[in-house]
Structure 1
Amino acid sequence: MTEFRDNLPQLSGELFLTDAGLETWLVFQRGVELRHFAAFELLATSGGRQLLREYYLPFLNMAAREGAGFVLETPTWRASPDWGDKLGYSGAEIALINRQSVRFMAEIAYCVPGAARTVLSGNIGPRGDGYVASLSMTAAEAEDYHALQIGAFATSGSDMVSAITMTNVPEAIGIARAAGKARMPLVLSFTVETDGRLPDGQPLGEAILATDAAAATRPAYYMVNCAHPEHFAHVLETGDGWRERIRGVRANASRLSHAELDEAETLDEGNPAELGELYRGLRRLLPNLSVLGGCCGTDHRHVEAIFGACRAAA
């Protein structure tokens, strides 16, 4: 799908869908035990690959049915060197897993009639915990760390890279530099706490502007993920020059904080219809918001409600 690399179709402003909370769907709705939240391990078995098909295909069929584009993310949020080491994989094995994930996702996309506007994205996560900014890195260290995973995507047919649940600016800058050197379009998604600030306390707008200023190749656009809309809508009410850079949202269904979610033993699914209406409100605050999906606790029902509310508003 390399024809999209230099001209991502979701930049047109048309509505695009993406998926939801893969890991929480697997754990709470399918009873899968994920080591360190690593969904990529399912790629190793036929049963695991079938579970991934059951998760992704309804989203792709929804997009095809509604005439919307789709950003298809690989299940590789944890497929980076440190997490791979914790799980017993070498760096070479992790690189191979990332390349194999792109091929597997491409096979899924080709199974869906009408899914021609599917953008295949190599998904990467933070080096540390996605809920806390506990691991301090320089931008140079982050660039070196994430280069392996980004390089694997660049050589396996991925159209872009998505860095999801970023907690701090130095890591974001390093990822942007690594993606630029690999000539891969990058979408960078920050997560925020209940006060609308990054886990390290930096305001969202400042984080976006600082990343743009320090990266030789700027991200194609930004997203916000793994937070309820009410956690960050208030910070979007003012601020020129950075709100326009946000084109995607993958919100949680739950209003719980990251700390509360980390301790939760049951799934807080929230209310899909309510979440859809909150996204409608976000579109009034974010003039370029067009990529719509979910994060922890969300599934196909939530994304369908989100798309319905936003399409009606459009």
Structure 2
Amino acid sequence: MLSELLTKNPLILAEGAIAEQLRRMPEVELHPTLFNTPLIYARNAIKSRMTALYEEYLEVASAADLPLLLTAPTWRLDARRVAEAEVPSSINTDAVKYLCEVRDRYSSRREVLVGALVGPKEDCYRPELSPSAEEAADFHSPQLQELAASQAQFLQAQTIPSLREGLGIARAASGLGKPYIISFCAGPDGAILDGTRLNEAMEVIDQTVEEKPLGYAVSCTYPSFLNSYPQGSLDRLIGIQANGSAKDVTRLDGSGATTAEPVEEWARVTLSLHRLHQVKILGGCCGTSAEHLRRLVALTRKPPHSGEVSYSED
């Protein structure tokens, strides 16, 4: 289904960082290791806050008549963390089910897909802590297998800081029967945080695993960081979930303050990346909200002579 969406549509929307938006709400307390996921079991207004964030993205996509990718809050639900947190062992499957129900209550549109996330084993901003490819495959396999057996329509490794961990995840995801995406963290120089150039990392994984990823993405980065890549060098890059700030993400982490560029500027540079490298899946990460996607959509609706892309006749 995701492959078909990519073939048929020039632009696909993706959600922003739900956990980061919840973190900015003073009334919300996130789990120390699982973040917002345990909220799926809550029976109070806090769960409703999380649901409302997903619904905002559904509203934006519906109003724009564009496909939308949502991802269940499974980013930190590896077997080790789940066991240590003493939450239900079914939490991965439960998180996917929760988001499918949110989607189905809001819309019956076939072009809203629900995927599931896996995150890095260690700190996503410290590539030196990343496991080897072999260790990563072993570490991530249990969660990937569980998610592949769930209602998730695709799998996505998010904020991966090194080639070796991305390769290990690809090995573990290959052959599970679900399309999967490897999404790396990239720094201001456009390289993955371990220093590997993005085009080189994609080539290594494609040449190594039996079942290639459906495509690659970058997350927790800023679109202009990829300006150094010549046109045609990122043909396998299909998505970005961009930070609201153009600062180095390793300096933003733990800063305690939310910084962001103007929404209009974020939308402009995101669309510039879309035009240069035909990156189809556009969404937000830290420091963004549904308003960023609204502005992005508005820019695509401008007439061609304005200098922006337009899909208003599709």
Same fold by TM (over 0.5)? yes
% identical aligned pairs: 26
In structure 1, distance between residues paired with 2:70 and 2:258: 24
Does residue 1:26 correspond to 2:17, yes or no?
Answer: no
In structure 2, distance between residues paired with 1:83 and 1:239: 40
Of 219, 230, 241, the match for 1:237:
230
Gaps (5+ residues) in structure 2? Answer: 303-308
Question: What residue is the counterpart of 1:246 in the other structure?
Answer: 237
Question: What residue is the counterpart of 2:293 in the other structure?
Answer: 303
- The Cα of 1:164 is off from its aligned counterpart by 0.7
Does residue 1:170 correspond to 2:173, yes or no?
Answer: no
In structure 2, distance between residues paired with 1:198 and 1:59: 28
Residue 280 to residue 136, structure 1, CA distance change in 2 (3 Å): closer
Query: 3-state SS of the aligned residue for 2:128?
Result: coil
Question: What residue is the counterpart of 2:135 in the other structure?
Answer: 141
- The Cα of 1:98 is off from its aligned counterpart by 0.7
Gaps (5+ residues) in structure 1? Answer: none
Query: 3-state SS of the aligned residue for 2:299?
Result: helix
> What TM-score do the two structures reach when normalised by structure 1?
0.90
Q: Deviations over 1:166-212 (max 9, x none)?
A: 11112112211222231111011111112211111111111111111
Greater RCO, CA 8 A, separation 6+: 1
Which amino acid in 2 is paired with 1:305? R
Q: Deviations over 1:120-165 (max 9, x none)?
A: 1011111111111132322222112111111111212111101111
Residue 112 to residue 186, structure 1, CA distance change in 2 (3 Å): same
In structure 1, distance between residues paired with 2:297 and 2:206: 29
Tell me, yes or no, if the aligned pair for 1:205 and 1:239 is still in contact at 8 Å: no
In structure 2, distance between residues paired with 1:30 and 1:150: 33
Does residue 1:113 correspond to 2:107, yes or no?
Answer: yes
In structure 1, distance between residues paired with 2:27 and 2:256: 12
Q: Deviations over 1:202-261 (max 9, x none)?
A: 111111111111111110011111011222222x22553xx1111111110112222321
Tell me, yes or no, if the aligned pair for 2:34 and 2:81 is still in contact at 8 Å: no
> What TM-score do the two structures reach when normalised by structure 2?
0.90
In structure 2, distance between residues paired with 1:116 and 1:30: 35
Of 267, 271, 275, the match for 2:262:
271
Question: What residue is the counterpart of 2:93 in the other structure?
Answer: 99
Q: Superposed, which structure 2 residues align to 1:160-309 within 5 Å?
A: 160-234=154-228, 236-238=229-231, 240=233, 243-287=234-278, 289-309=279-299
- The Cα of 1:86 is off from its aligned counterpart by 4.9
Which amino acid in 1 is paired with 2:163? V
Residue 144 to residue 229, structure 1, CA distance change in 2 (3 Å): same
Residue 82 to residue 256, structure 1, CA distance change in 2 (3 Å): farther
Which amino acid in 1 is paired with 2:268? E
Q: Deviations over 1:41-76 (max 9, x none)?
A: 211212343122111001011111211111110011
Of 6, 23, 27, the match for 1:10:
6
Of 32, 41, 44, the match for 2:38:
41
Which amino acid in 2 is paired with 1:123? L
Tell me, yes or no, if the aligned pair for 1:161 and 1:184 is still in contact at 8 Å: yes
Residue 248 to residue 229, structure 1, CA distance change in 2 (3 Å): same
- Comparing 304-313 and 292-301, the one that deviates more: 304-313
Which amino acid in 1 is paired with 2:36? A
Which amino acid in 2 is paired with 1:57? E
Q: Superposed, which structure 2 residues align to 1:66-77 within 5 Å?
A: 66-77=64-75
Residue 38 to residue 248, structure 1, CA distance change in 2 (3 Å): same
In structure 2, distance between residues paired with 1:16 and 1:115: 14
In structure 2, distance between residues paired with 1:223 and 1:104: 25
Which amino acid in 1 is paired with 2:107? P
Tell me, yes or no, if the aligned pair for 2:222 and 2:246 is still in contact at 8 Å: yes
Which amino acid in 1 is paired with 2:12? F
- The Cα of 1:103 is off from its aligned counterpart by 0.9
Query: 3-state SS of the aligned residue for 2:123?
Result: coil
Which amino acid in 1 is paired with 2:230? E
